[in-house]
Chains A and B, each alone.
Chain A
Amino acid sequence: MTDFLKKERSFVVPGEEIVKSIQYLPGKNCFREGDSIYAKRLGIVSISGRVVSVIPLNIPYMPKVGDMVIARVSDIQFNGWILDINSPYTAFLPLSGVREYIDLTKTDISKIYNVNDFIYTKISLVSQSDVVYASMQDVKCKKLRGGRIFKINPAKIPRLIGKQGSMINLIKRKTDCRILIGQNGVIWISGDRIDDVIKAINLIEKEPYAEGLTDRISELLDEVKK
């Protein structure tokens, strides 16, 4: 059995050696050089079987096919919209990605989505050369009207959602707010208690792995209600 220089769940910075053995394979956010496996990003070591990986604590959002994201329309072209998806790359929403049929000779497409509109959309294609396509061909997709837009670290989105949506459903139930979460770290909130929701989300972002977090969120939301 080889000794790990860094134990499971320990903190690593980029370039730190995790294990010196060719028995293990470098997983996500790791790389091999010579006999050793090194961390590529700042994060927590995770070991499953023979695969060594690092769970990042901060990471730019990279689009994946099937992700639901909240995007801002940043430009309009003759055949579609350019979307800012809070990622290194912009996405393109072609006219064919919109549910209704559009006759370009009769319609001004800025009437459908204008610049600076926010939309809840699905990533439909990510090409090898990082060209990203979005689509509105899904029942969940829609244009967002009213409410407030709010950004958090994309690496914390899974914690905010919780196991089978337990955390987000708790917040929704306690505050009666409508909340949409984009995988890209953008959140849309609409309702009367927006500030309370933001308080709760900030707490989750700050201490994502604290013990009894669900109870604390529940308490926090009950407290401000009074």
Chain B
Amino acid sequence: MKRIDGRKSDELRPIRAEVGVIPNANGSALFALGNTIAVAAVYGPRLMHPKHLQESDRAFLRTIYSLIPFSTKERNRPGPSRRSIEICKVTREALEPAVILEEYPKTAIDVFIDIVQADAGTRTAGINAASMALADAGIPMRDLVAAVASGKIENEYVIDLAGKEEEVTACDMPVAYMPNRKLVTLMQMDGDISVKDAKKILDLSIKGCMKIYEKQKEALKKKWMVRI
């Protein structure tokens, strides 16, 4: 089967990864998968406000995900929505196992993720950008996190669904993965599918995550190696 954009079933969209796109932030990154573009900025660790949310033994990871108004065809009303609040939560839970929060007790690490252009797979692009930005900020981590969404179209398992494909797929499964630790930190699923299919899709996603991980490493190296 040929896909709408002519890709093979296990082929990712073209990846663009850059680190240090926002000089004001402690760490920042841009991650684009085809037409989906995510920018992440990390501030901190810094003093936690409001103080009652401060934790005495570890840092608090705050992730804020938002689609910027012109990222979609219909103008997206700014501000938190039901959807973006959910994505903030799953993004935080996807990154938390990777970040060593115990190193900076009582502080907050702010991760701001903005989707500049949305064309399916925004949460996974956001997680990819955020994990690069955290590493760039010099925050201690157990591993980087790579993420990709996969699905099933006409009895074929396909990786990295583009906007048009997302409408026809039987299921959409975003997966975040820690490549060295071999841990899945995010797995969600929309649609109806058998357990066997779900396993296949998970395996496919993990392979895709490994490819993304290589790109993330490359981008981090590109920013910091010129300075040695």
A interface residue numbers (CB < 8 A to B): 11, 13-17, 29, 31, 38, 40-42, 44, 56-60, 88-90, 129-130, 155, 206-209
Contacts and interface: CB of A to CB of B under 8 A. Distances in A.
Given A40-B100, A208-B227, A58 B136 contact: yes
Contact of B217 (A13, A38, A130): A13
B180 A155 contact: no
A31 to B, nearest CB: 8
Q: Among A11, A17, A209, which residue has the most Cβ atoms of chain B within 10 A? A: A11
- Describe B's contact surface by its main secondary structure: loop
A16 B221 CA distance: 13
B141 A15 contact: yes
A57 B104 contact: no
Interface residues of B, number: 36
Nearest to A40: B140
B123 interface: no
Given A60-B26, A88-B45, A89-B107, A42 B227 contact: no
29 contacts: A11-B221, A11-B228, A13-B217, A13-B221, A14-B135, A14-B140, A15-B142, A15-B143, A15-B144, A15-B178, A15-B179, A15-B180, A17-B180, A29-B140, A31-B100, A40-B141, A41-B140, A42-B224, A57-B227, A58-B224, A60-B104, A60-B139, A88-B45, A88-B46, A89-B47, A129-B56, A130-B105, A207-B226, A209-B228
Given A15-B142, A60-B138, 8 more contacts: A11-B228, A14-B144, A15-B178, A59-B138, A60-B44, A129-B56, A129-B105, A207-B227
A17 B139 CA distance: 17
Contact of A88 (B27, B104, B220, B228): B104
Interface in B192-228: 216-217, 220-221, 224-228
A29 B143 CA distance: 13
B138 A130 contact: no
Contacts of A17: 180
B141 A60 contact: no
B106 interface: yes
B164 interface: no
Contacts of B143: 14-15, 38
B181 interface: yes
A29 B142 CA distance: 11
B115 to A, nearest CB: 24
Contacts of B41: none
Contacts of A58: 26-27, 136-138, 224
Contacts of B27: 58
Contacts of A90: 47
A89 B54 CA distance: 13
Contact of B228 (A13, A14, A44): A44
Given A42-B224, A57-B224, A130-B106, A13 B138 contact: no
B103 to A, nearest CB: 8
Q: Among A44, A59, A60, which residue has the most Cβ atoms of chain B within 10 A? A: A60
B59 to A, nearest CB: 8
A88 B144 contact: no
B107 A42 contact: no
A23 to B, nearest CB: 21
Nearest to B218: A13
A88 B100 CA distance: 15
Q: Among B56, B106, B140, which residue has the most Cβ atoms of chain A within 10 A? A: B140
A208 B136 CA distance: 17
Contacts of A44: 228
Contacts of B181: 15
Contacts of A11: 221, 224-225, 228
A57 B20 CA distance: 13
